[in-house]
């Protein structure tokens, strides 16, 4: 069985200071994808993580202290793709692909549109880029897992008080429709294979005690291709793990 975790750490150095490495070793996933590393690899002390058997693959943003993704894996992939092929988004370090013999793993940090119209437009541009990329990838690879912070709540049960957030980036009708399109393309929300309850969140604002009140958003996912879904044995969210304003999301699979 393989355990894969996705976790927006909101700054890997800050998360390590809060015990991230020790937690990772105890949790012992086969692979962890992290988003918002906000650092170059050489700026981070990874000795504890590497000593535990993980190989790091890192794709930082060009802008210091911003964005970036990394994946730590106990089984090195056959090949690694850094970036989705867009100069703009690759400069922001948003896409990392690990290819294995029978499956492809994608680690992505989707843009937020909450800062204004310009960033919302870039977010929507990225959504279409990912959709087209995945549609093409499905032609040659039937086992795909897309993990990361999507910055979208798909359905009303994925957000607190949905009636209050109808016009907010992350819960806009056309963003949610993009998720529907991904499902029609052949992807499945792995968490909802096992849990259809409301109030299951992966991100909480730092403001107004939102986490203590569980006023959150579920914006972190493992989307699995329909063929890979048959190998999924469990999926969960770990809201009690606190190194970030997000929490880890977990998927477990029988070997593909």
| Closest by Cα among 5, 15, 66 to 44 | 15
Active site residues: 149
Distance, in Å, from the CA atom of 144 to the CA atom of 125, rounded to the nearest integer, reads 22
3-state secondary structure of 164: helix
Burial 42-58 (b: 16+ CB within 10 A, else e): eebebeebeebebeebb
Residue 253: φ, ψ to 5°: -135, 145
Alpha-carbon span 185 to 66, nearest angstrom: 31
Please list the alpha-helical segments (H only) found in the chain.
12-17, 20-27, 47-51, 87-90, 117-137, 173-185, 226-229
Please, what is the Cα angle at 121 between 119 and 122, to 5 degrees?
65
DSSP designation for 97? E
216: nearest Cα among 176, 168, 163, 162: 162
Is residue 217 a contact partner of residue 158, using CB atoms and an 8 Å limit?
yes
**Residue ranges of the alpha helices (H) in 2-114?**
12-17, 20-27, 47-51, 87-90
Nearest to 74 by CA among 37, 49, 107, 39: 49
């Amino acid at each position: 069985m393989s355990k894969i975790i996705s976790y927006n750490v909101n700054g890997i150095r800050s998360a390590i200071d809060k015990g991230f490495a020790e937690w990772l070793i105890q949790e012992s996933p086969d692979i962890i994808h992290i988003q918002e590393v906000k650092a170059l690899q050489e700026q981070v002390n990874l000795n504890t993580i590497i000593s535990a058997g993980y190989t790091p693959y890192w794709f930082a943003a060009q802008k210091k202290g911003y964005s970036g993704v990394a994946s730590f894996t106990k089984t090195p992939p056959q090949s690694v793709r850094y970036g989705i092929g867009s100069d703009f988004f690759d400069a922001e370090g948003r896409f990392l692909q690990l290819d294995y013999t029978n499956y492809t793993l994608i680690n992505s940090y989707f843009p937020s549109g909450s800062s204004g119209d310009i960033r919302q437009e870039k977010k929507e541009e990225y959504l279409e880029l990912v959709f087209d990329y995945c549609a093409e990838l499905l032609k040659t690879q039937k086992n795909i897992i897309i993990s990361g912070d999507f910055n979208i709540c798909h359905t009303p049960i994925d957000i607190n008080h949905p009636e209050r957030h109808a016009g907010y980036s992350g819960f806009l009708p056309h963003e949610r429709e993009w998720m529907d399109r991904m499902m029609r393309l052949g992807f499945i929300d792995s968490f909802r294979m096992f849990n259809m309850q409301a109030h299951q969140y992966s991100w909480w604002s730092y403001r107004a005690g939102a986490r203590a009140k569980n006023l959150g958003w579920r914006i972190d996912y493992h989307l699995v291709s329909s063929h890979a879904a048959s190998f999924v044995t469990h999926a969960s969210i770990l809201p009690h793990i606190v190194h970030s304003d997000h929490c880890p999301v977990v998927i477990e699979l029988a070997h593909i």
